[in-house]
A = this chain, B = another copy of it.
Amino acid sequence: MANPTIYDVARAAGVATSTVSRVFGKPGRIADATRDRVLQAARELGYEPNPHARALTSQRTQTIAMIVSDITNPHFFELIRGAEMRAKAAAYTLVLVNAEESTRMELEQVRRLTRSVDGFLLAASRQPDDKLADLAAARPVVLINRRVEGVASVVLEPWEGSRQIVAHLASLGHTSLVYLAGPTNSWMAASRWTALRDAAAELGVRAVRTGPYTPTVSSGGAAADAAIGTGATAIVAHNDLLAIGVLRRLADRSVRVPEDVSVVGFDDIFAADLCTPTLTTLGGAHSDVGRAAVEILVESLGQPRSSTPSPQIVLPSQLVLRASTGTAPAGERTTQR
């Protein structure tokens, strides 16, 4: 038979369709003997429940959507991976959607998918807070690397991490740093900057910010030039891609790293350990972030809507020291090259 239905199974097993449905839906509800008979019949017929028919009445699709602001950023790969694995473990299917850094597209996709998925993972969303609150009010949402009051979220600790970066640089004798900012409406960019600035103030380091820059390797060139113009001896880039772009540009300009200037990134992407020099960066277990996000989401799906307390999880980050940071050059560099 092409597509056996519960009716076929019910007939074969000599029970009612509702019994078959329950065997698959709420196992405890049916006596063992009956259940075995039904399962046996189902197996023989090659029966497979139709997820759409199921979703139609039950409103549950066993699917979650992950909307990523820019799928080309390797930083997300680990995230996606962690989410995918956890989703599979919970018998959920993961739908991957790229928002291409467009808030409009992000909203559109959420609207389009609302009926077909049980919940959303929004990674590094660029929406304004209230928009996100609205979205989350209407459907299960977990934010990733973005924090909004009253909405569940998982973020990789940016504050203490940024402080560690400054402390690291200060201990190397740096007295000034420049932060190459990420996208304007990136929560992470804002968090990093305020934390860097505060820590810098506290430790007597001069901190300035330039940007915003698109967080890509190719933006690194312009960013590097701007950074050098500030005369700072340490460059903290919004993320590793940007930092790698900076390293390249510095190499082209024969600025030595870390002798002349130190460079720090964020994310600890795979490539950070491969570039030359290897990159000091604030990393963390990104796959755990994805995993945790799915976990919270699935958890909340199990409960009656709105009874959930919207957990705000912060996962620890860690400063990974590599070769791109070193002692500050002897004389404070003030001249622009």
Residues of B within 8 A of A53 (CB): 52, 56
**A67-112 CB contacts (< 8 Å) to partner B:** 71-72, 74, 77, 80-81, 84-85, 88, 93-98, 111-112
Question: Are B96 and A84 in contact (CB-based, < 8 A)?
Answer: yes
Residues of B within 8 A of A51 (CB): 52, 115-116
**A13-45 CB contacts (< 8 Å) to partner B:** none
Question: Are A114 and B270 in contact (CB-based, < 8 A)?
Answer: no
A135 to chain B, nearest CB (A): 15
Is the C-beta of A1 less than 8 angstroms from some C-beta in chain B? no
Is the C-beta of A275 less than 8 angstroms from some C-beta in chain B? yes
Q: How many residues of A contact B (CB 8 A)?
A: 37
Interface string of A107-129 (1 = CB under 8 A from B): 00001111110000000000000
Question: Are A52 and B61 in contact (CB-based, < 8 A)?
Answer: yes
Question: Are A274 and B244 in contact (CB-based, < 8 A)?
Answer: yes
**A245-295 CB contacts (< 8 Å) to partner B:** 270-271, 274-276
Question: Are B94 and A96 in contact (CB-based, < 8 A)?
Answer: yes
Is the C-beta of A50 less than 8 angstroms from some C-beta in chain B? yes
Residues of B within 8 A of A84 (CB): 71, 96-98
**Distance of A16 Cα from B304 Cα, bound (Å):** 36
Question: Are B74 and A74 in contact (CB-based, < 8 A)?
Answer: yes
Is the C-beta of A136 less than 8 angstroms from some C-beta in chain B? no
Question: Are A93 and B93 in contact (CB-based, < 8 A)?
Answer: no
Residues of B within 8 A of A332 (CB): none
Evaluate whether A52 and B48 lie within 8 angstroms (CB atoms) in the complex, with A74-B74, A94-B96 already known: no
**Distance of A84 Cα from B97 Cα, bound (Å):** 7
**Distance of A329 Cα from B88 Cα, bound (Å):** 50
Q: Which 7 A-B pairs rank lowest in CB-CB distance, beginning with the nearest? A: A274-B275, A52-B55, A52-B52, A96-B96, A274-B274, A271-B271, A51-B116
Q: Which residues of A contact B (CB under 8 A)?
A: 48-53, 55-56, 61, 63, 71-72, 74, 77, 80-81, 84-85, 88, 93-98, 111-116, 244, 270-271, 274-276
